[in-house]
Amino acid sequence: MFTQRSEGWQAAGAAQPSDAVALPLDLPSQGAGFAEQFAGVRAEVERFIADGGSASAQQLSPEAWRVRQQLGAGSVDLSAVPPDRQAFVEEMLPHAQAAAARLGVTPDLVLAHAALESGWGRKPLTRGDGGNSHNLFGIKADARWRGEVAASLTTEFIHGQKQSRVEPFRAYPDYRAAFDDYADLLASNPRYRAALGVGGDARAFAEALARGGYATDPDYAGKLAGLAGQFRKGMR
């Protein structure tokens, strides 16, 4: 369904459990009590996302509300980003923060996804006239799409083999619309439910997208998780 338009970023580290969210919760750090409490907090945040963050917001527990605030703010370490890519991060960060808050993940994961699909904004999907489609996530225009369409050459993996083909992609008036549509897609499609509410767990987010069929590249999860790690090197 989706295209893969990235360079060869390598996987960073072994897979981690999907509930290993790196958030400073005031909960016990181990044992059955922690597992039960964490599962409850995560379920609350997921319901918040599913409800669009409206009425359910007033019903969140203090722990879940704190998680919600932390996810919305997030942190990206620009010192860990190569200088020639910092302009891309600075421009996209506000949009990534808004999308991340809706998805229950940290902004660095959304930024990494945009960077992976667009080559840090250097390999954009273009319109027929050569203009910018603002499609940073390689989202194709299926039969349900009612917006503008941009036909673009892309690389797909078919039966394990790379193939170049022209495919229809969604086009947006600006980057804000692109990030909004991206968040809508992940939040509404049950195939990507496991990617919601994972906080800063890059491996869980990447593997959930790969299992959901976001891209045809067999190494997609490793590339996305590895790229997300680039934002955090300076914070270790």
Q: What is the DSSP string of 170-194?
A: E--SSHHHHHHHHHHHHHH-GGGGG
Nearest to 76, CA basis, from 105, 41, 118, 116 = 105
Q: How far is CA 215 from the centre of its chain?
A: 13
Of the residues 156, 167, 180, 219, only one is catalytic, namely 156
Is residue 181 flagged as an active site residue? Answer: yes
Assign residue 32 a region: left if phi > 0, alpha if psi is -120 to 50, beta otherwise? alpha
Overall CATH class of domain 74-138+173-235: mainly alpha
pLDDT per residue over 183-236, tens digit each? 999 999 999 999 999 998 999 999 999 999 998 888 999 999 998 888 766 444
Of the residues 108, 181, 201, 207, only one is catalytic, namely 181
Q: What residue segments make up the domains of the chain, in order of their start?
A: 74-138+173-235
215 and 193 Cβ atoms separated by less than 8 Å? no
Query: pTM for the whole thing?
Result: 0.67
143 and 170 Cβ atoms separated by less than 8 Å? no
pLDDT per residue over 130-188, tens digit each? 889 999 999 999 888 999 998 877 666 666 767 777 788 999 999 999 999 999 999 99
> Which helix (DSSP H) or strand (DSSP E) does residue 163 occupy?
strand 161-170
